Structure formats: structure tokens, C-alpha cells
Amino acid sequence: MLERAPLDKPLVAVRGTLDLLPLDALHWTDFEGLLWRVLRDVEGLRNPQIYGLPGQKQLGLDMVAEESDGSGVALQSKDVRQFGAARITAAVDAFRSTTRPFPVSKFIIGVSCEVKSRPAVDRFKELRAELRPVELVMWDKRELSVMLKGAPHIVIEYFGSHVAEAFCRPFVVGNPIVPRHDVVAIREAIARTPEVTTGAGAKIEEAKRIADANPVDALAMVESAQLALEEAGFAGHAAQHDALRASLLVEVGRGVDATRRRLDQFWVALGRGQSIHASIAGNDIRTLAGQVEEKAAGDHANAAETALELYENPVAYVPPFEQLMIGETADRARLAALAGEIALADGNLAWLAGNSAKLRRLGLKIDREPDADILRVRLRLLAAEGSGRWSEILKDARTLMLGHELIGLVNARHARYLAGQQNFEGADLAWDEASGAACLANHWTDAARWTFSRRAFRTRWRLFATEELLPIQTALLSKGPDATILPRDEDALEQALSQLSTRKLRSAAIAGQRALRDAVTLSDWAGEGQARRVLAEVLQASGEPRQAAHHLVRAGDVDGLKRLAGNVGDLYLDVTEYLDAKPYWIVGAAYRFVTNQADLVPDADVSAVADAVVRDLGAARAGTLVDMTVTTGSRFLGAIAAVAGLSERLNEVQAENVLAFFESQPAVEENRYRHHDDDEARAVAGILLTHQALEDRALAHLVTLLARSSTSRKTYAHDAVTSRMTMARPLLAALAEGGNSWAREVLFTDSPNEVTAEEAQEARARLEAPLKIIAGVTTIGAGSSAVSDSVLARTLPPSRQQASLRRLLINASNLHVDAADRAAYLLAASNLASPPTRVDRKELFEQALALAISPPLYVTDASDARFAHPLGGFRITGKTDSRAEAAYVAAGLAQTEREKEGARSASLALIGDDRVAEVWAARAIQRLGDTMTPDIGFLSGQGWAFKSLAAILWARTVEPVAVGDRLASDPDPRVRRAFAAELVACQTRDDAARRGDRATSRANAVRRDTRAILLAKLQADPRFSVRVAAGS
């Protein structure tokens, strides 16, 4: 054995120092072991091994090894007293007269004596030249001594410390690490192959030799050889002989034993996630079953096939329970456990509930399997998950009827169940108990995982108290890793991501399902969420968005659902079933997804969503709603967002309940806001526009809300108020008298003549006040009141607005003004009248045009650019470009054809630039009139804003027809909505116009018919807002 200590250290008398090691005093096997050590530990060669078994032809070699570049090294050892020219020749002749199955770049002759006679040295040099390109090397006594001079640990092992002290360079001997016997045995097996060290190889060869004549004895030899390999820790090597064993079992009439053994190996491989090995085993079982008449063999093959179908189903399909009852009880139990765990991970509680009693009864039938206890508990846990009855299995765990590792598993799974029931303290305690039981069973990895599950779950109910468990988790992790109580494929999640990146979607989905199943069955709370998100990505990429939505909702991933909604276009994905779930984060995520798809919700589903919202708002009002309202997954905030999106589609009772809830809210203190102000404003605006009976109450609430909350003043809510100005005026007047600037602005916008000269002058003064710039300081929000002041100032005569217009353009050119304020100054400028004199107007036009074409390099933009990189730790993602707003101002100031062409060119140059606000570039074109009508086809191929402009222009001319068809089918609903509204408006105008001559009437009829066809299409649009705009 090359790795073991020498058989006998030679007695060497030492006086003074030694020049050469007494290699010739070693036993020949020890000398061979020394050469092996030099190959490995001095030369650093890889995989040094004895070449051949005793009695086999060695082709002139004793050992082989491998250089770092992969080239082969061969060594022939000679334990002789003399080694002259004849022996050198014989050794080389033996090497080159044979053909080896691998290339050799270096041939070493190792001898224990010193080779120094002139004939020997001369012959060696001759043979070295002849053998090229193979390098011939002599390791004689002197060469080996030189090589071992710096290896005192080897010298001490073979000759003793007194020889090492006399021979080696000065050295310090550290504490020796003595390898265990089993470690030494494994290392030797690696060097000499396990078949050699265990004697299994000889038995296999003998079995093959006698197999035809005596298959019974041959089978016994194979079984003995495999047992020896397995006991030595080389089960993989033992498995290589399974085919021989199986053929012998069939030969002696024990074919069912062969399929049974292979099926057991199949279950082990499947449990570890080794699906390829499992598939190979399944094929082997089917092949063997074809050679055996017994039904049991066929059952084994069917069980393996069914298990693989379950395991490799990418969308977690589970068949009826009866289809799993194949073969022996143990196989039925494993099939049922696999199917049940797939159903549990997928959230298919209906399957578990319908089969819980069957699962429990099946578990009671298991008694003689090696893993009977674990398998039985797996089935009992599934039965408890399906029925909700945990008392029996929890009693067994708490009375120590189960082992500590199973007690840990039961408590962990119960913790996950309690988490789903929003029993926060109970789940936390159960995970704590699970971790403690795992520690008693020395399952440190499971203990750490369940501690981490406590930390992760606490974010659902104790947001700022999660880090107290981190030291415990860290301590537990330091004791691992070790095997988990249930087999787990540790690489499944990584495999799913890897396969997704290469678009191997089926294998990615299978790996994702396995990762999710492992996380769920082991109660890995954080891992479950991560696996659901990865699996959702795979399913979405595979064209299964409904399945993706299902997993994202269960993970409570609001951001992922938002991305999914944006990716599916006009496809409605129904998640209303989750509005009745118990965990607030699942319901909250479902509400948010409904919000994202509110425009697509079918009329038949609106009431279900609205009723759920009314229910949850009622619970919130009563103080019984379980929720965490500071998170995006809040059930309460999600409910309000959902009802805001559906507010125009509520029935009278639902609208009354929603409005009553908003009215019942406590008053908000000054300078405070509610998280749901925006959604509340939209919800009330929708009720105002669609329910006449609630009009007074809705308008009063909405006006008060908009007056208080600046963030809620979106276009939809603002327009709802201005559409009822007669009713709103008294409410707005009362607020304006109290000093509310928003109410005054709305009143003055509706009735400019009500603006007093004093108010207009004050606004003008504010607009014309020079900016106060402090070096090194960027002020944000300086332009926040510019637009509202421009509404007041524009009531002045044009000549008195000119200075304000000039100052606004100067402010927009200031290098220290940030992008948001620049845009505000420019939009305020667009509200003011054009200067009355040609010279002044042209000057201001050129300033605005310059800002649109070649703006200066703003200091604030350069500063913000440092925080714009997506990999940055701190990011600023706001708007950093105001060229489109400048183009809009220039379009308003343009009067001559040349100026209009300049403004048009500047606006069109912004097409496709993601940094600008496309809508203002399109409005700039629209502000120039119908000059783009001949270019409708071009506009219809740009972004949504330019497409919308093309739709408006097309509706007036209905040419070219193909463009109209394309616009009516545009994937962006904003385009279709604008198109529908303009088609209706054009039809209305044509109806109101007086009839002209026959040709004009005919042209009008053609346009009407063309519009009618497209309106009919838009009235059947999947989006509610488009249908409404089309007059449906």
C-alpha cells in the first residue's frame, strides 16, 4: 500500500552528516512507496498509480502519473545493488518494445543504487538521444538524495528523524497530522483503484469467467464484490457492476430481485435530484422487465415511469390518486408522497384535501422499508396539510414518539402552515422548536435554515426585529454543512437559472419545480419565495404567464407582478381566487395585480373584486384587518388601489360603501398625507363621474382631498372636478377664501376674468424674480409654483407677460437648475402669450429653440449622472432632460413657415430618445397644426405619443386606410384610446356640420363608414377605457 507507513525502517548508523540516503537499505516495497511519494509530493505530479495488477503484463512500467499539462509520465523501479549499461538497455528496450494505450512524454528509471560507471553513463546518454521525443530520466541514489534534501517529512517517515537531521537542510518539525485509517484506505484506493484495494476486481473477473458455466456462484461473487466496494465507501464503483448482477439474477430466475434493486436505486437518485441517473435506471428496469414474466417486474417499471413523469412535469401536474397505486406498498407510498409534495408546492390544496385520508391510511401500511419512518411522516404531513388536522402528528412529536430529526421536520412544516394562517407568534415558536430538535439530531444545516425562516417570516409582522436571530443562524451555519432530513437538490435553483439563461426552458422549469418543492417540504420560507420568483421567470419565458402570475402572487412579489402585467399586453390573467386567501401579503399582491390589469378585468369579474374590497375596507374600519400597511404588499392599500382602477364600474351599493369608508376616515393633520391619497382620489373621481346619486358627496370629498394633498392632483381626478365646475365652484371658493392656492388656481383657470389685478401682478412678480444661486448648492423645487403662477399671470395683457416669459427662459437656461425645475419653467412659459412685437417674439423663439436643439451642459445633470448607473449603490432615476418641453415652447412661439419648420425639425429630432418626455415632443408637433398630416404613416411607426398624434390626424382624413387598421390594433392602449376618442369626436363634428354638395356628402359618407368599421372594432376592445372612448 503506497500511502501506508514503511514496513520497516532500516537501522542506519549516523555520524556527522550524510551526503546520500541509504536507499539500498530499504525493503523493495518501501523503496517503491518512496518513489511514489517523490512522484506525488516532490515532483507534484497528478494521479500517480501502480500500473497493473499482480500477474498482469505491465508493458515495461511500474507506475504512471500525469504532468500538469496532461502529458503522461512512466516510471520503472529497480531495487538492485548494481545497475550497469546492460540493465539500462534492457529497461529501455522493455519500454519501447511495447505499445501502451496512452502517450508517455517522460520515462523515469528509479534505482536504489548509485549509477556512475562510465559505460553506464555513456549508454544512458546514447539511449536518451535515441528515445527522443520521450524524455529519459535516471533517478539513482544520488539524484533521489538531491530531490529529498528539502523533504524532511518523507525522510523521517522512511529513515527516522536522526537520518533526517544528518541529511536534510535545517528544518522545523510541526505537529504531525495522522490520517485516520479509513482516510488512508480511501487515498490508497484512489491511487490503485477501489477494485484493487478491496479485491473486488479479482472477484468480478472470476465471476465473468464462470458466468456461463455456473451463474449461481458467479452471482455470489458479484454480490460479494459489490458489498466490499460499498462497505469501503465506493457505492458508485459498486453500481458499475449492476448490469452484470442483473443479468445473472435473470439467468438464475430472480429477475424480480433485479428490477427491485434497480428501482430502489432509482428512488435514491430521484430523491437526490439526479434525474439522468434515475432515467437510466428507469430504462434498465423496463429492459429487465421485458425479460421477466412476473407481474411485479412490470409494476416496478410502471412505478419508475410514473415517478419520472411526475418529476419531469414542468407545470406541476398531478394525476388522480388512484393512478398512483402501482406495485408494492412502498412504491405506492413514494409515488403518493412525490405527487402530494408537488401539489403542496404548487398550492393545489384541493388535491391534498381530497386525498388526505388516503395519504394517512397509506402511511400506516409502511413498516419494513429502510426509510419507513421518514416516508410515513411525509405522508402524514401531507394529510395534515390537506385536512388542517395537525393534532395527532403534533402529539407524536411532542411526546417524543418520533426521532429528533423527524420532530424538527414536523414542527417546521407546522410552522409554515401556521404562517399561512397568519398565526405569527405560533409560526415563530414552531420554527424555534424545529431548530432546537434539529440541533439535538446534529442536523445543523436544517437548524440554520429554520432559524433563517424565522428571520425571513418576521418581515411579515415584526419588520424591525429580525437581526436578533442572525448570530444564532451564523453559529449554526458554522457547524455545517451536513445532510438535510429530506433529500434536497442543492443545485436545483442554480440549475434553473443557468438553463433559463441558455433558453433551455423545459429543463429550467423542471429544476425550478424541484427547487420549489425542496423549499416547501423543508419549510424553507425564504427559499420558497426565491424559488417561486425564479420559476415564474421561467414560466413567463415559456409562454405560461398564468402559471407565472400564480407563483408571483403566492410569493407576494408585487414588483414581479407589475413587470408581468406590462409584458402580457392585453392578456387578462385572473387572480381573483386569491382575494379570498388568508395571508395579507398574498391578497395584497393579488389586489396590486388586479390594479395593474384593471382596464382588462372582464365585466363579470368586477363585482367579485369590488365585493372583496368592500369586505376588507369594512374589516379595516372595524379594526379587524390583519395587515402591515407600510409595505407595498399591504392588503388595505392594495384594496384601495384595485377599487381605484375599477371605480367607474362599481354598482350603486359598492360605490356607496367605498365612498362611506373614505368619508369615515379621521381628519388628516396639516402637512400630513395618507399613503393611499392618490388611489383614494381616483376612486372617488370614478364614483363622481358614474353615480349621479352620490355626486354631491363624492365631489365634496374629492375637492377637499385635492385641496389637501398635492400628490393626488392627477389629471383624472382634476378633470373630474372641472367637469362639474358649477357644483364645485362654491366648494372651491370657500377653500380659496381660506388661502388654498390650488382652489384659487382651478377657479382662475376656469374663469380668468375673476383673477384680480393684484393677484396677477403678484404672480408676475414671483415669475420675474431672479434666481438666488449659491455656489456649490443645488436647490430642488424652485420652479414648483411657476406653472400655477403662469395661470394667473396670463390674464395680464400680452405686453405685460413678456418679461415673465423672458425670465422663465433665462431660468431654464441656468446651469444650476435641475431638470424637473427646468421643465416647470418651460411649461409655465408655454402658458404665457407670445410677445406682441416681431423682434421680441423672434428672440424668445430662438432662445427656446436653442434649448431644444443644443441645451447647455447643466451642472446639476452632470452631478446626477454619477448616480444614474444601474449598478450604483445610490441611484437617481428622475428625469434629466427638458428638450421636449423647450420644443413645445418654441412651437407656441413659431409664426413664420421657417420658424414652424425649425420647431418641427427640433421636435422630430427627439423621436426615439429615451431621455426626453415624448408626449411634449408630440404636443409640440400638434401645436404647429395639421402640417404633419402627409406624414401620418411615419408618425404611426414611432412611440406611443406620436402614434396617438397620428391617430388624431388620421381620424380626420381616414387615409391611408392601412394605417387606420394598424392604429386600431396598436399594442399600446393609450394609442387605441386616443384613436377611439378622436374617431367619435370626428363623427360628432361631421353629424353637426351642414350638408354640402353631392361630392362633399359622398366624401363625408365614406369617412363615416370607414370610421364606423374601426369604431366597431374598438368597441369590442379588451380594455374598458378603449371601449368607453369608442362609445360602447
- Dig out the grid coordinates for 915 from the structure: 431621455
For the residues 762-782, what does the mean pLDDT come to? 81
Do 962 and 1011 form a contact (C-beta atoms < 8 A)? no
Residue 106 is classified by DSSP as: E
Q: What gap in Å lies between CA 471 and CA 475, rounded to an integer? A: 6
Confidence of residue 1 (pLDDT cuts 50, 70, 90): very low
CA angle 563, 566, 569 (to 5 degrees): 145
Average pLDDT, integer, range 1007-1020: 93
| 41 belongs to a structural domain | yes
Q: Are residues 175 and 61 both part of a single domain?
A: yes
Distance CA 378, CA 226 (A): 31
pLDDT of residue 64: 87
- Residue-level pLDDT at 570: 95
Mean pLDDT along residues 720-741: 93
pLDDT of 781 higher than 80: no
At 465 the pLDDT is 65
Q: What is the grid cell recorded at 503?
A: 433558453
pLDDT in tens, 242-272: 888 888 888 888 989 999 999 999 999 999 8
Q: List the one residue out of 444, 359, 429, 422 whose CA is nearest residue 393.
A: 359
CA atoms within 13 A on the CB side of 43: 22
Residue 683 lies in a domain: no
pLDDT greater than 60 at residue 187: no
Per the domain annotation, does 774 fall within a domain? yes
In which band, very low, low, confident or very high, does the pLDDT at 60 lie, cut at 50, 70 and 90? low
> Residue 585 domain-assigned?
no
Q: Is residue 229 part of a domain?
A: no
Shared domain check, 905 and 778: yes
Query: Which one, of 270, 277, 388, 390, lies nearest residue 335 by Cα?
Result: 270
Cα dihedral sign, 99-102-104-107: negative
In a domain, 520, yes or no: no
* Best mean pLDDT range from 47-56, 199-208, 228-237, 446-455: 446-455
Question: Residue 178 — pLDDT band, cuts 50, 70, 90?
Answer: very low
Assess whether 163 and 38 both reside in one domain. yes
At 101, phi and psi to the nearest 5? -80, 10
Tell me the three cell numbers of residue 690: 358614474
Average pLDDT over residues 66-82: 84
Cβ atoms < 10 Å from Cβ of 553: 30
915 and 978 share a domain?
no
pLDDT of residue 535 exceeding 60, the answer is: yes
Q: Which residue has the higher pLDDT, 792 or 875?
A: 792
Does 983 lie in the same domain as 859? no
Q: Which residue has the cell 372594432?
A: 1017
Query: The C-alpha cell of 429 is what?
Result: 415558536
Beta bridge mates, 50: 63
Indicate if the pLDDT at residue 616 is higher than 60.
yes
Considering the domain architecture, whether residues 923 and 942 belong to the same structural domain is answered as no
Please give the Cα distance from 985 to 987 (Å, whole number): 5
Say whether the peptide bond before residue 481 is cis (omega within 30 degrees of 0).
yes
For the chain, how many structural domains are there in total?
3
Does one domain contain both 823 and 870?
Answer: yes
HSE of 32, CA atoms in CB hemisphere, 13 A: 17
Q: What separation, in Å, do the N-terminal and C-terminal C-alpha atoms of the chain show?
A: 90
C-alpha cell at 16: 556527522
Could you tell me if 344 and 521 are in contact, meaning their C-beta atoms sit under 8 angstroms apart? yes
Single-letter amino acid, residue 796: L
Q: Which pLDDT belongs to residue 55?
A: 39
pLDDT band at 500 (very low <50, low <70, confident <90, very high): very high
The whole-number pLDDT of residue 541 equals 96
> What pLDDT shows up at residue 597?
96
Give the tens place of pLDDT for each residue, 948-963: 999 999 999 898 889 9
Using CA atoms, how far apart are residues 558 and 552, in angstroms rounded to an integer? Answer: 8
Same domain, 921 and 961: no
* Global model pTM greater than 0.85: no
Q: Please tell me the predicted confidence (pLDDT) of residue 556.
A: 95
* CA–CA separation, 315 and 538 (whole Å): 11
Q: In angstroms, rounded to a whole number, what is the distance separating the alpha carbons of residues 190 and 313?
A: 39
Pairing of strands 72-78, 106-111: parallel
Of 191, 225, 260, the one marking the end of a domain is 191
What is the pLDDT averaged over residues 278-302?
Answer: 92
C-alpha cell at 404: 429528533
What is the predicted pLDDT for the residue at 59? 55
Q: If you ran DSSP here, which 8-state letter would residue 50 be given?
A: E
**905 and 942 inside one domain:** no
Distance, CA of 45 to CA of 770 (rounded, Å): 80
Give the ranges where 832-972 is alpha helix by DSSP (H). Answer: 838-853, 859-865, 883-893, 897-908, 918-927, 936-939, 944-957, 961-968
The pLDDT of residue 337 is: 96
Write the CATH number for 35.
Answer: 3.40.1340
C-alpha distance from residue 354 to each of 334, 349, 350 (Å): 18, 8, 6
**What pLDDT score was predicted for residue 453?**
95
Mean of the pLDDT values across residues 798-820?
A: 90
Based on the domain organization, do 921 and 955 belong to the same domain? no
Amino acid 795 reads: T
Q: Is residue 447 part of a domain?
A: no
Show which of 191, 222, 240 is a domain's final residue: 191
Looking at the fold, whether 915 and 975 belong to one and the same domain comes out as no
Mean pLDDT, to the nearest integer, of 571-586? 96
Contact in structure between 974 and 946 (CB atoms under 8 Å): no
Non-local (6+) Cβ contacts of 977 within 8 A are 1023, 1025, 1026, 1029
Q: Where are the beta strands (DSSP E) in 231-277?
A: none
User: Which pLDDT band holds residue 559 (cuts at 50, 70, 90)?
Assistant: very high
Section 380-405 average pLDDT? 93
**Residue of 227, 178, 226 lying closest to 3 (CA atoms):** 178
Q: For residue 763, what are the CA distances in angstroms to 163, 171, 767, 787, 892?
A: 103, 91, 6, 10, 21
Order of strands across the sheet with 63-66? Answer: 46-50, 63-66, 72-78, 106-111, 135-139
Q: Are residues 870 and 759 in the same domain?
A: yes
Which has the closest alpha carbon to 116: 146, 141, 80, 147? 141
| DSSP secondary structure, 880-913, as one string | ---HHHHHHHHHHH--SHHHHHHHHHHHHTTTT-
- Residue-level pLDDT at 368: 67
Query: What pLDDT score does 498 carry?
Result: 95
Q: Is residue 632 part of a domain?
A: no
Q: Mean pLDDT for the chain?
A: 89
> In which domain, by residue range, is 46 found?
23-191
Residue pLDDT, tens place only, 357-367: 999 999 989 87
Nearest to 31 by CA among 15, 11, 48, 9: 9
3-state secondary structure string across 148-214: HCCCHHHHHHHHCHHHHHHHCCCCCCCCCCCCCHHHHHHHHHHHHCHHHHHCHHHHHHHHHHHCCCC
At residue 883, does pLDDT exceed 70? yes
Please say which residue of 174, 191, 208 terminates a domain.
191
